[in-house]
Structure 1
Amino acid sequence: MWRAILSGTVLGTALFLIGGQITVGQQATAIKRTDLLKTALPEMEKDMSVWVADIPPNSSTGRHSHPTPRFVYVLEGAVIYEVDGKPPQTFKAGEAYAEMPGEVHNFRNASPTQPAKALGFQYANKGQPLQSNAP
């Protein structure tokens, strides 16, 4: 009887530890943003930023907003754009959308297993931050 209890305890502990390792391995990693272009637009007195974001499975930006419009084109996979007070929208590779100034939103990968990639464009006043965290 003690052998059965000990075997069950060892097996249960092993499964718990393996499960913990699987969970840790599936946690989201950070979105990698690579700036492709930053240039002045003197005729508009603005700066233009162009970037690409590599979005691992289960990753998101967290709630934030932008002071100016941001335009996003999905290159690979699918993303979900969640604006406070509106239903979430999913955009797949080949689709684009605009993020309006002041809209508090979250941007995340639609897949728990596949990465996504998006191209973004945004202009702002010289020295103006491109985004701010939402309260």
Structure 2
Amino acid sequence: MSDKDSAQGTGVQTRSEGWKTAAKMLQDTAPLTVPEGASAMTIFVEWEPGDPGSPPHRHSGPAFGYVLEGAVRFEMEGEPERVIEAGGTFWEPGGDPIHYQDGNALPDACTRFVVTMLCAPGKPMLELVDEEELAQRAHLRAPRPTG
């Protein structure tokens, strides 16, 4: 290939072997229940320092997240609260379980993450859970951390 071909993009490029090692598995989740006719959407979330995040809610289908920066305080119904730092992943099965927390675990820095959700047709991306249902399902919530 001549310099002229290279500059004009008409020459053949040699493919790098980098593709063999460029991808890194971040999350592998099974089994999944995907609503029939689901659509996929990816959102970017940015919480200010200390922001508690969304109120308790659920999604109509599974959701998969990746923390870009900061740390997310994450809690799903039946699971203990945990903090997921930058580079970490999380997922929600969707359907009935309540997602209690997704806020910023840091008091002095922003937290940013992306989430891809598979949504059932005609359903909102996020459905808030009212106080009455939270009270009825309190026994399903993992014990709260102390101290």
TM-score, normalised via structure 1 length: 0.63
- Counterpart in 2 of 1:80? 73
Taking the TM superposition and a 5 Å limit, the aligned residue runs for 1:83-102 are 83-101=76-94, 102=96
Q: 2:38 is matched with which residue?
A: 46
- Distance in 2 (CA, whole Å) between partners of 1:56 and 1:64 is 20
- Give the secondary-structure state (helix, strand or coil) at the position aligned to 1:129: coil
**What pairs up with 1:1-135 in 2 under 5 angstroms?**
45-59=37-51, 60-101=53-94, 102-104=96-98, 105-135=100-130
How many residues are aligned here?
92
RMSD (CA atoms): 1.5
Q: Specify the SS of the correspondent of 1:121.
A: strand
Counterpart contact for 2:42–2:116, Cα < 8 Å: yes
Higher helix share: 1
Shift of 1:83: 2.2
Counterpart in 2 of 1:34?
none
Identity of aligned residues (%): 25
Deviates more, 1:91-100 or 1:76-85: 76-85
CA contact (8 A) 2:76 2:92 kept: no
Q: Structure 2: where are the runs of 5+ without partners?
A: 1-35, 131-147
The runs of 4+ residues in structure 1 deviating greater than 3 Å are: none
Note the C-alpha offset of 1:53.
Answer: 0.4
Structure 1: any 5+ residue segments left out of the alignment?
1-43
2:77 partner letter: D
Contact preservation (8 Å) 2:59, 2:119: no
The structure whose residues are more often strand, as a share, is: 1
